Amino acid sequence: MVRKSMELQTELQQRLKKKNILLMTHLVLGYPSLDTNKEVIEQMALNGVDCIELQIPFSEPIADGPVILKANQQSLEAGITVEQCFAFAAEMAAKYPDVCFLFMTYYNIVFKYGEAAFLRRTRDVGLVGTIIPDLPPEEGEQYFALSKELELAPITFFTPTSTAERMTEVAQQGEGFVYCVARRGVTGKQTAIDESLDSYLEQCRQATGLPLAVGFGISNRDDIAMLTGKADMAVIGTATIRLVDEQGAAAVGPFIAELAGAA
Amino acid sequence: MKKGYFGQWGGAFIPEVLYATFAQLNTEYEKARADAAFWQEYVELMGNYSCRPTPLTYAENLSNHFGGARIYIKREDLNHTGAHKANNVMGQGLLVKRMGKKRVIAETGAGQHGVATATMAARFGFDCTVYMGEEDVARQRPNVFWMEKLGATVVPVTSGSRTLKDAMNEAFRDWVSSMDDTHYVIGTVCGPHPFPEMVAWFQSIIGIEAHKQILQQFGRLPSRVYACVGGGSNAMGIFQGFLDTPEVELVGVEAGGEGIDTDRHASRMTGDRASAGVAQGYKTMFLQNPEGQMLDTHSIAAGLDYVGVSPILADLGEQGRVRFEAATDKEVVDALALSMRKEGLIPALESSHGFVQAFKEAPTMAGDEAIIINMSGRGDKDIFTVAHAFDDPSWKKFIVDRGNEYSK
Ligand SMILES: Cc1ncc(COP(=O)(O)O)c(C=O)c1O
């Protein structure tokens, strides 16, 4: 078994020696239930997913589209707590040491828990980083500093509206990889994989030496084949949630296997 | 202090995709603010299009009724579209023209801000989409009708608690796709920097006028100024006229709903259910649980039914410069009834919260003192809610008859 390196960037770069493109998947904790989450993660892990984003639900997920919004709400209605999310993450990280787990959530969840307490516990339960879409580097100075101290990767974002200057600035703050948002808008809509995406990714590449993860609207084999060679990791978000909604957890394995085959 | 902060409150907690949009907005706002001609254009527009300066009315009958302080009422209800919301919206409209954008979006609770935005869009020739919680669509139907007739698209929001905060989330979701040609006209002194500061600037026209008017009419400054506080824009508007005169006490009145000791209210600065948090792009006191999930709020006044409060007011509250109180739904209906009977004024349910607290305190004050109540809007938009609260039999009969007529 490959030991996961403490440093996410190094770990991803090592994996990239053996694979053309890595896969990161996403799920909302407690939706539709933690038991289903478990089955889904097992299928993802067995089929070679590299990273998994575990989203801690928040009542106001402004960067998310209808599917993930609904998942957040239903999970909260069913009574999910931050405490349960930590316990669940600990169990998964221990069970699947080959997968790099990250927390994704909104800043208020971290703020209410206490930045330092949240980050220490995130590290202690075996996660490798955090993705907080509403915490820009300007507001997260302490958060970014403490993450680095704890060897957790604070993930930063590039977007199609970012200037070259802004990309350089943002990338200097982040670690692990840069999450390149493939298009404007919220999660869940299909993204056109075309020439403008190519030139955007070229611009991203010039701004940083960190691996590039591309997400928002990546949902099938073709998308991943198109990204190969241009990005380092493809992020599958809403597509798996939809799949579980429609066909149940058992459908996830074959879906991921197919995507991994394209990669 | 860090830009966009008021004490520990405020900031700009925005997703990266909006970074460039906010950079442009900040630049244009700062340019406008430094340009005396911009403010001049704004004041002239409001004078010509929206009845500014609005009067400061001496409420002699109410003053005599309570037998204490002389009560003055700042008449924001006389603005075009019937509330102080027009001030902010027309100001942002001028900024949108400068930015060269073609479409505006807005969130609305009571519908006042939505109607004001739709009006501004019609006047300036912008496309307009208004997000409104499903619950508010149901309770403020007349405003939905007007928005649509003014040419706006009204989108009912069915997520979350289906009120103002959810409408704001949806507007943000629109904006992260549409920012190239669209400006988000936030309706109150909340949200990421520069909105709190910018909206407070446009609303400061209320306080500038009121300060001058009270000196003309009463000869001295008032002892106290009262305003209802939802997000806090009408309160910040009038308070700014008196912030530098510490002898004037500033009183913000929140929605006490069914009582601040129940879980059916929207009081952030009074009561003990709110705590510091970060949501909707800014840091303030939010009604939330200990893990940071927002709570459902309640008020008879849709415009006050909101989980957060202006970061500027959170700071002024913390400093002790603004005192916060809460008024219950029931007190609000009583104060509204009294204002109608004694003065022929119909304050909005939102505004009536300020009246409640003023009515409680006026009798304890001396006859040579004055107080000002900010009447942020007119109440005729609330006819369905008010008639329902009064349980008015002839109104009910009218609705039933009309319903029967339409279902034929
Ligand atoms: C008449 C009126 N007053 C007050 C408010 C509350 O907003 P704010 O606290 O920003 O003045 C509203 C909001 O819709 C309103 O319509």
- Assess whether the C-beta atom of B109 lies below 6 angstroms from ligand 1: yes
Instruction: Give A141: exposed, middle or buried? Use CB within 10 Å, 0-12, 13-18, 19+.
Output: exposed
Across the interface, do A134 and B11 touch by the CB < 8 Å criterion?
A: no
What is the ipTM, given to two decimal places? 0.95
Cβ atoms of residues B351 and B376 within 8 Å: yes
User: Residue B373 domain-assigned?
Assistant: yes
> Average per-residue pLDDT in chain A?
94
How many separate domains does chain B show?
Answer: 2
Average pLDDT, 10 consecutive residues per value, chain B (408 residues): 93 96 97 98 98 97 98 98 97 97 95 96 98 90 95 96 92 94 98 98 98 98 98 98 98 98 97 96 98 96 94 98 98 98 97 98 98 96 85 94 94
* Domain co-membership, B210 together with B190: no
Q: Residues A183-236: pLDDT tens digits?
A: 888 777 777 777 789 999 999 999 999 999 999 888 899 999 999 999 999 999
Evaluate whether residue A153 is within a structural domain.
yes
Query: Is B251 part of a structural domain of the chain?
Result: yes
Compute the CA torsion angle A52, A58, A60, A64 (nearest 10 deg): 10
Of B80, B74, B122, B127, nearest in space to B104 by CA: B127
**Predicted pLDDT of residue A4:** 58
Q: Do B154 and B289 fall into the same domain?
A: no
Q: Using CB atoms, which residue from A111, A139, A181 is nearest to B292?
A: A111
- Kindly tell me the sign of the dihedral angle through the C-alpha atoms of B137, B300, B373, B319: negative
Mutation choice for ligand 1 from B188, B190, B225, CB with most ligand atoms inside 8 A: B188
**8 A C-beta contact, residue B370 and residue B220:** yes
Residues 6+ apart with CB under 8 A from B49: B80, B90, B123
Q: Element (H or E) spanning B28, and its range? A: helix B19-33
Instruction: Measure B376 CA to ligand 1 centroid, in angstroms.
Output: 7
Our answer to whether residue A194 is catalytic in this structure is no
- CB of residue B237 inside a 6 A radius of ligand 1: no
A263 part of a folded domain: no
A6 band by pLDDT with thresholds 50, 70 and 90: low
State residue A168 phi and psi, 5-degree precision. -60, -45
- Judge residue A33's burial from the number of C-beta atoms within 10 Å of its C-beta, 0-12 exposed, 13-18 middle, 19 or more buried: middle
pLDDT of residue A156: 98
Whether residues B286 and B138 share a domain: the answer is no
Mean pLDDT, to the nearest integer, of A149-166? 96
Contact B278 A159 (CB under 8 A): no
Residue A29 lies in a domain: yes
Q: Are residues B373 and B251 in the same domain?
A: yes
Rounded to a whole number of angstroms, the CA Rg of chain B reads 20
Model pTM? 0.96
- Name the packing angle between helices A238-247 and A66-77 (round to 10°): 60
Q: Is residue B114 part of a domain?
A: yes
* Domain boundary residue, one of B195, B224, B241: B195
Query: Which residues span the domain enclosing B245?
Result: 52-82+204-389
Of B160, B173, B278, Cβ closest to residue A111: B278
Same domain, B283 and B303: yes
Q: Which two tokens stand for residue B38?
A: 């911009």
Q: What is the pLDDT of residue A2?
A: 42
- Judgement on whether residues B66 and B121 belong to the same structural domain of the protein: no
Whether A54 is in a domain gets the answer: yes
User: How many angstroms separate the CA atoms of B370 and B394, rounded?
Assistant: 39
A102's tokens: 């990250």
Q: How many CB atoms lie within 10 A of CB A10?
A: 11
Phi, psi (degrees; rounded to nearest 5) at B117: -65, -40
| Average pLDDT of the segment spanning A23-31 | 97
Angle of CA points B21, B25, B27, to nearest 5°: 120
Interface residue A69 vs chain B (CB under 8 A): yes
Residues B208 and B342 grouped into a single domain = yes
